């Protein structure tokens, strides 16, 4: 009786595992993504527009071999600058757009967005705020900003963004190359 029950359970597990085909995975999770080694410590996962051009790329810390963990999840800053300047050289980014270099915070995360004419770069990083450091009351004065004057477009350069330690993920999105929605 026990042998029959064991065989029945084994068959049930085998049929479940056997039913997970690549087609079933693609139906549930979409097509697999390509990953590239962008540098010694940075991996890149691109997405492509319908005409095959890269429309979005994520940069993140490479995973080390099994059993080894990186000292930090943060991307090495000088290496990151090099990867970004190779992936999207300043001359191809286009003019700087407003708002530029705006940081948003929420849910223990922060992200700073640098918008250009042809591309947007978002740096994501963890934020740990100790509630003891927050002493109120807080007031946020609202002022009417001076009217914007027409000026020449500011061109991008190698030093557009100030990178801080702790950046864990970078998302690069090309403005004129829409990514397909799943």
The residue among 19 and 62 whose pLDDT is bigger is 62
Per-residue pLDDT tens over the stretch 118-176: 999 999 999 887 777 777 676 666 666 666 555 556 666 656 666 777 899 999 999 99
CATH top-level class of 33-128+153-182: alpha beta
| Beta pairing class for 102-106 and 42-48 | unpaired
Q: What would the two tokens of residue 85 be?
A: 């300047």
Q: 54: number of CA atoms within 13 Å, CB side?
A: 17
> Any idea where the domains of the chain sit in the sequence?
33-128+153-182
| pTM exceeds 0.85 | no
Q: How confident is the model at residue 89 (pLDDT cuts 50, 70, 90)?
A: very high
Per-residue pLDDT tens over the stretch 161-172: 667 778 999 999
Mean pLDDT, the chain, integer: 79
Q: What would the two tokens of residue 129 be?
A: 């705020």
To 5 degrees, how large is the angle CA 24–CA 25–CA 29?
Answer: 125
Q: What is the mean pLDDT of residues 63-72?
A: 63
CB atoms within 10 A of CB 145: 5
């Amino acid at each position: 009786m026990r042998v029959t029950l064991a065989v029945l359970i084994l068959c049930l597990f085998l049929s479940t595992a056997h039913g997970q085909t690549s087609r079933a995975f693609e139906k549930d999770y979409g097509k697999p993504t390509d990953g590239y080694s962008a540098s010694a410590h940075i991996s890149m996962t691109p997405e492509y527009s319908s005409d095959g051009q890269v429309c979005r790329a994520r940069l993140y810390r490479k995973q080390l071999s099994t059993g080894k963990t990186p000292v930090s999840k943060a991307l090495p800053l000088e290496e990151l600058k090099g990867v970004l300047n190779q992936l999207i050289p300043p001359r191809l980014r286009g003019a700087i757009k407003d708002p530029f270099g705006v940081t948003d915070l929420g849910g223990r995360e922060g992200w700073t967005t640098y918008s250009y004419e042809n591309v947007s770069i978002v740096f994501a990083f963890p934020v740990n705020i100790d509630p003891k450091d927050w002493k109120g009351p807080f007031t946020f004065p609202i002022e009417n900003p001076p009217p914007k004057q027409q000026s020449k477009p500011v061109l991008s350069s190698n030093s557009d963004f100030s990178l801080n330690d702790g950046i864990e993920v970078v998302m690069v999105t090309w403005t004129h190359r829409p990514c397909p929605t799943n």
